[in-house]
Amino acid sequence: MRIAFNPFSGAVKKSVIFSGLFFFIFFINGHAQQLMVGAAKRIITPEPLLAVSGGVGTPQPVQEKKGDLFVRAMVLVKGNEKIAIVNIDNLGWPAALGNRSRALIKGVAPENILIGATHTHSAPDAYAFPNEQGGHGADLGYLDKCVVLVAEAVNEAFGKVVPANLKIAVAKAEGKIAYNYYAPKLYDSRCGVIQAVNDTGKPIVTLVNYAIHPEVLGNDKGILSGDLVTPLYDRIEQKTGGMAVFMNGAQGGMVTADNRLDGGEEARNWEECQRIGNLLGDEALRIISDAPIQKNPDIYCSANTVSFPIESAMLKYILQNSPLGIGQGDSDSISTTLNLLNIGSAQVLTIPGEALPNIGYYLKRKMPTEHAFLFGLTNDAFGYILTKEDFNSFDTYQYISRTSLGESTGEILISELLEMVERNPKPKK
């Protein structure tokens, strides 16, 4: 067999390889200072279905599901700044689980990965709340799977980023959506929306920030569900063709879904979840519809570790005895991460729990933008967060005071967040 020798074959191959590498480097460098956005999601519905948790106590059994549970990730990249915003359909998501996912995520620094919870009261226990006998009702194998799926969603979103522009708006969401159970009109009706669009104007992902308890169903209806957030997601995704992400706000004390009926009872069914979720989705799209395009805006992320004293005997027992290692030994304090984000004209502060509306209003008033966002239940969920003036001051707040870390939590949170606002750059388009 005769083999022909081509003296140029090696050179041609090297030329092709070099050209391909040059093209790749040119592509990356060409977009180095272009905002890039990607989004991805994973289903985390347990099979078979698991009991659901509405808070401290024994999870309640379920017989059916309404929609699936998800983890959803939105990744923003510009130059060396890389940010991941993640939300999971659960009551709360402790840093003990979030940090395990962060260790599996490539390309985004752990402190730039924000993981929040929708706060549905119809999902499996993610805290492994310990009972008095030392047992718990969580399925640790299920939580292990969720840890991996969170990382998968972020890694996929990071791997599929494309050039993007933003639309950002904050306005009152109209209609019967939420109210304050303790004081009906004491809640923040403003809805913040950040929508990333590609170079043709098609939405990539729409983030909705609104303060509300997704507890239309609750954990005693025998239903596993994302509650009102599920139809909100469906509505936005059907209308935009892009993905949706929901980040809760300052909904503590007790900003809940307005499912009140004329006779004083509550509509606690899937149809009411659909009504409220669809309405909030429609309002979010109305609010963002006329927002101007922010072309290639800047992004910025700052993180700070803060420590809170644990004054509640109940929460101290939970933190120290959960098998997830949520607490920090026998310490009388617990640390968590607070984030400040600038995304175009928007500024975002994170809250590791359920801040009451007055704290939310105050923080937003002090933020240097008309597009102020608060991501509640993010990076941790340490119960209710009250000001010292409200803590244990009257009967109505007995329950939320008991399920708070303590009297000083609100004061520390406000001080730390406003210091971050002061020392970090202001948002700009």
Quick count: other Cβ atoms within 10 Å of Cβ 266? 16
**How many degrees, rounded to 5, is the angle at CA 70 between CA 66 and CA 71?**
165
Helix axes 357-366, 409-423, angle to 10 degrees: 20
Q: What is the pLDDT of residue 24?
A: 37
Q: Which residues contact 163 (CB under 8 A, 6 or more apart)?
A: 31, 34, 35, 36, 198, 199
Q: Name the strand (E) or helix (H) holding 283.
A: helix 270-289
**Of 305, 315, 178, 297, residue with least CA distance to 249:** 178
Q: With a cut of 50, list the residues of the chain below it in pLDDT.
A: 1-28
Token pair for 92: 């709360």
Question: How many whole angstroms separate alpha carbon 128 and alpha carbon 322?
Answer: 6
Tell me the per-residue pLDDT of 82-118, one tens digit each, with 9 for 90 and over.
999 999 999 999 999 999 999 999 999 999 999 999 9
- Model pLDDT, residue 417: 98
Show the DSSP H helices in 2-87 as ranges: 9-30
Q: b/e per residue, 51-84, with b = 16+ CB within 10 A?
A: bbbbebeebbebeebbbbbbbbbbbbbbeebbbb
Between CA 267 and CA 122 the distance in angstroms is 16
Whole-model pTM above 0.85? Answer: yes
Q: How far apart are CA 3 and CA 271, in angstroms?
A: 75
Please tell me the total number of residues recorded for the chain in this structure.
Answer: 429
What six digits make up the tokens of 59?
């999870």
Q: Which residues of 153-190 are buried (b: 16+ CB within 10 A; e: fewer)?
A: bbbbbbeebeebbbbbbbbebeeebbbbbbeeeebbbb
Q: 161 in helix, strand or coil?
A: coil
Q: What is the pLDDT of residue 30?
A: 54
Please tell me the distance from the alpha carbon of residue 223 to that of residue 169, in angstroms, as a whole number. 34
| One-letter amino acid of 77 | V
